Structure 1
Amino acid sequence: MASRPIFIVGSERSGTTLMRSLINAHPNISCGEETHFLAGLEGIVGSKWRLMKDYPFEKEYWYEKIRELFDSFKTEAAHKQGKLRWGDKTPIYVLKLDFIDALFPDCQVIHMIRDGRDVVASSMDRWGYKRGLSATKRWGKSVRAGQSFGRSVSLERYIEVKYEELVLDPESTMQSVCEFLQEPWEPSLLEEGTYKSALTEKRRQAAGNSEVSFYASRIGVGKKKLDPLVKSLFRYYSGSLLKELGYS
């Protein structure tokens, strides 16, 4: 691996897609869309390890094979774009960071965090009411998993970025991200077309001529939109974490 891999993780609907589009705009970094590739292979050295017992290889052998496969196609994709470094945006990897750390012990993790109520509201918009109900519990689990990993590694390997700060103060936030990644600051990261690339066609139409304003308009929607049942479930599962993170 020529350069340190970058993983963008977080709960669903927390701004990982927006961060991916901004990171991918950097001239040194190729950050493709999510593949869930590694989540599917984790069982080889985890829950499915018993199926491998007849093969004369230790776990490290399989870690190395998975590492080589993933790094090779990511590196080739980056080089085809004239870039030196690769990143990956797969939100669910926030629950797989120990496995990813075993594969890429020098990787850097960008953990996106968003007001959980807005995450629940956005999940409902995207996938329906039932998914929103489950998100009341899933949000806290995802955030705590990411933070637990962050406490176990050095400061140069983990950073938390709040969706709200990214949207309301993108320049300062992305300058901090570039500093964390030890990459030069590139003002072109904040071109409005970059924001547009992170939106679905439906949301592009809703955004009109200002994609940046569209993202800002999504802050605080959960407070207004969630019904009493969903609010109660969220407070039960994640109310204390919401306060810990400074969301009122």
Structure 2
Amino acid sequence: MATSAPTSVRPVFVLGCPRSGTTLLQLMLHAHPRIALPPETRFVLPAYEGRLRFGDLRDPGNRAGLAAWITGRKETRFDELGLDADTVAERIEGGPPTLGSALGITLRSYAERHGKVRWGDKRPAYALHVEEILRLFPDAQFVHLVRDGRDCVASLMGMPWWHRGFHEAVATWAQVMDVTRRYARRLGPDSWHELRFEDLVAHPEPQLRELCRYLGEEYDPGMTEPRRVAEKAVPARKTWHRRTHGALDTTRAGSWQQRLTPDQIRLCDAVLGDRLVRNGYELSGAVRPDPAELLHYRRVAALRRAAHAKRRMLDRLARVREPGPVSAAPSFTTSEFRA
């Protein structure tokens, strides 16, 4: 059966600070009858960063090597997509000779498996790699989910996979907010949409209606019940996402007041204050933090900024050595979808 696609089926990328609710938003979008966002993958950014190793993709043998890298390694989490590796590899080998096309084929195959037209991906890390996503998918639409930085920090501190400490958690939220603010200004309302986690869980329908308008899609009421797709779209190993299997929960908003210590709250208010207020969050009114704590934070934040600048520099050096274009072929956003 053929399903007519609109003139644009632009890929959708959800991003934000870790623990800002991006998985919940992924499920809401995945519940839409035309949109499919997979469980968090690990092949888009690593493939881009290691793109030189795959060689000139105009060579079918090199495309075969890239396909094997995507579909055959546990690290890419391809196995969590429920796709047949041989079929996807064959499509990549026979597809357009660019990295973006190969990655797009994989993500679009996931959408086709669910009988949907729109495809994309969700990963908090994309917040610091918008430039890379745009090189791969120049027509991408970004959705940035913002959550109170103090709640993100408190949640990160409770995650079994977070081992970087409190100051690093604070610096992570600050950096994400700074970087995404620049891209929001640069890309504008046609390619960048922002919403707050607290508003999404408290008033899901108006928030999702506005999101659908941005995407050029009709709103679907099923989007307000993400738990209906959580069992299929959230890997069982991710026990920290267990709340997505239940009803929308507003009780976690503002829980930082009980989960952070007074000293931690003082530091958050001091270093995140302007960003918090700019996004509609009230400060606690706490006194200034200990100078030693403030100095520690500034060192951690400076190291994060330096690492980000180094990645940008290395990326620009790698571009000089690229054997060909990396962008996905235009057919990914204009061709007719068939299910």
Q: TM-score, normalised by structure 1?
A: 0.83
**Mind listing any 5+ residue stretches in structure 2 that lack a counterpart?**
1-6, 58-65, 67-96, 283-339
Choose from 125, 149, 157 the match for 1:92: 125
Structure 2 counterpart of 1:106: 139
Choose from 175, 180, 185 the match for 1:151: 185
Distance 1:195 1:164, change over 3 A: farther
Structure 1 counterpart of 2:100: 67
2:128 and 2:227 map into 1 onto residues whose CA distance is 31
Choose from 213, 224, 228 the match for 1:179: 213
Structure (1/2) with the larger helix percentage: 1
Choose from 1, 7, 21 the match for 2:13: 7
Contact 1:114 1:164 in 2 (8 A): yes
What does 1:22-101 correspond to in 2, within 5 Å? 22-44=28-50, 65-101=98-134
Structure 2 counterpart of 1:247: 281
**Offset, 1:225:** 1.9
Distance 1:202 1:42, change over 3 A: closer
**Offset, 1:232:** 3.1
Distance 1:69 1:131, change over 3 A: farther
Matched AA of 1:86: W
Contact 1:18 1:195 in 2 (8 A): no
Distance 1:236 1:195, change over 3 A: farther
Matched AA of 1:13: R
Count, aligned residues: 236
Contact 2:27 2:226 in 1 (8 A): no
Where 2:182 maps in the other structure, the secondary structure is helix
Matched AA of 2:182: S
**Mind listing any 5+ residue stretches in structure 1 that lack a counterpart?**
none
> Percentage identity across aligned positions?
29
Structure whose CA Rg is larger: 2
Superposed CA deviations along residues 206-227 of structure 1, whole A, max 9, x for unmatched, are 899x622xx2010001123211
